[in-house]
């Protein structure tokens, strides 16, 4: 050993960034006659930020839900950190703890305070002592800028504040990956940026993120890659600059002209 060598980086992310974290192969899903996921293949590497974009009904939410196993798939495979998604039981609970999920509608527990919303899973699932869970929760609430709201109930917060609490809650389990499904689309315009700023911060910190959003500013600023979906297929996969400035397919051109128009 060379004593003069610099210490190895301590963060998992900087050591392992670039390895495949989510591997999706030949995934198929039908709802009755409807082919919602049609031969989906992609790899999301550790530390990567992937934005999923596409018209309504193209299968974006279904794909997110399948990655978290909230939805079953007909065939193909999805693995996270080298492990195929378990069917059920303790292994599935473990996987869920590794994958944070943020929804359009916040989904906070209405009768629990902001602080309790965040400490619940670490205390229940990880058996973390209350004191430690609360200290960590306060650090997370500070990170998303709502520490002064800790004692309130979700209904006493604005939408933007609630969504930032939801993000803090997903971080409390120290997930390997965060999935976000249209996290800003239920918000009033003046609250969108405060949530996007938190998301950009997470991306900069090296969090692996899969984000369904039509916020092009976020995609351009934070995404490594854009997946454009239409009719259950990944139609284009490109860097944000390439995708927004030089879409290749007619579907993408048509879609972009619509979202740019308003
Ligand atoms: N549980 C379900 N049962 C039957 N059909 C469903 C179910 N969930 C979704 N679908 C259908 O599957 C298709 C894909 O839905 P999905 O929610 O994944 O689309 P999306 O791309 O997220 O759309 P949006 O932009 O409107 O959120 C849609 O046609 C939808 O109606
Ligand atoms: Mg959706």
Tens digit of pLDDT for each residue in 94-133?
Answer: 888 899 999 999 899 999 999 999 999 999 989 999 999 9
Which residue's alpha carbon is nearest to atom 17 within ligand 1?
61
C-alpha gyration radius of the chain: 19
Is the CB of 31 inside a 6 Å radius of any atom of ligand 1? yes
pLDDT score of 117: 97
Q: Is 60 in the pocket of ligand 1 (CB under 6 A)?
A: yes
pLDDT grade, residue 260 (50/70/90)? confident
Express the helix, strand and coil content of the chain in percent, nearest 5 each: 40, 25, 35
Does pLDDT of 160 surpass 60? yes
In this predicted structure, the answer to whether residue 155 has a pLDDT above a threshold of 60 is yes
pLDDT band at 259; cut points 50, 70, 90? confident
Q: Tell me which residue has its CA closest to atom 24 in ligand 1.
A: 56
Q: What is the pLDDT of residue 95?
A: 82
232 lines ligand 1 (CB under 6 A): no
Nearest residue to 195 (alpha-carbon basis) of 179, 170, 218: 218
CA of 178 to the centre of ligand 1 (A): 21
Mean pLDDT in the chain?
91
**Which of 27, 29, 31 best tests ligand 1's pocket when mutated (most atoms within 8 Å of CB)?**
31
pTM: 0.91
49: enclosing H helix or E strand = strand 49-53
pLDDT greater than 80 at residue 211? yes
């Amino acid at each position: 050993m060379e004593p003069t060598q610099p210490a190895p980086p301590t963060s998992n992310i900087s050591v392992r960034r670039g390895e495949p974290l989510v591997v999706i192969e030949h995934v198929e899903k039908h709802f009755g006659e409807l082919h919602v996921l049609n031969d989906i293949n992609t790899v999301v590497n550790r530390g990567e930020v992937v934005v999923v974009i596409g018209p309504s009904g193209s299968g974006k939410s279904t794909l997110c839900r399948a990655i978290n196993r909230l939805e079953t798939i007909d065939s193909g495979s999805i693995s996270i950190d080298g492990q195929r998604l378990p069917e059920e039981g303790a292994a599935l609970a473990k996987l869920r703890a590794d994958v944070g999920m943020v929804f359009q509608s916040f989904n906070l527990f209405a009768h629990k305070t902001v602080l309790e919303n965040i400490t619940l899973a670490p205390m229940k699932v990880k058996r973390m002592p209350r004191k430690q869970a609360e200290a960590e929760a306060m650090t997370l609430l500070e990170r998303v800028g709502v520490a002064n709201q800790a004692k309130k109930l979700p209904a006493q917060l604005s939408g933007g504040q609630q969504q930032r609490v939801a993000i803090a809650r997903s971080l409390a389990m120290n997930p390997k990956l965060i999935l976000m499904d249209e996290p800003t689309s239920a918000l009033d315009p003046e609250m969108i940026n405060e949530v996007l700023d938190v998301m950009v911060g997470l991306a900069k910190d090296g969090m692996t993120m899969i984000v369904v959003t039509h916020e092009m500013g976020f995609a351009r600023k934070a995404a490594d890659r854009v997946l454009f979906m239409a009719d259950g297929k990944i139609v284009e996969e490109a860097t944000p600059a390439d995708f927004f400035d030089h879409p290749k397919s007619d579907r993408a051109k048509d879609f972009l002209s619509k979202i740019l128009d308003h």
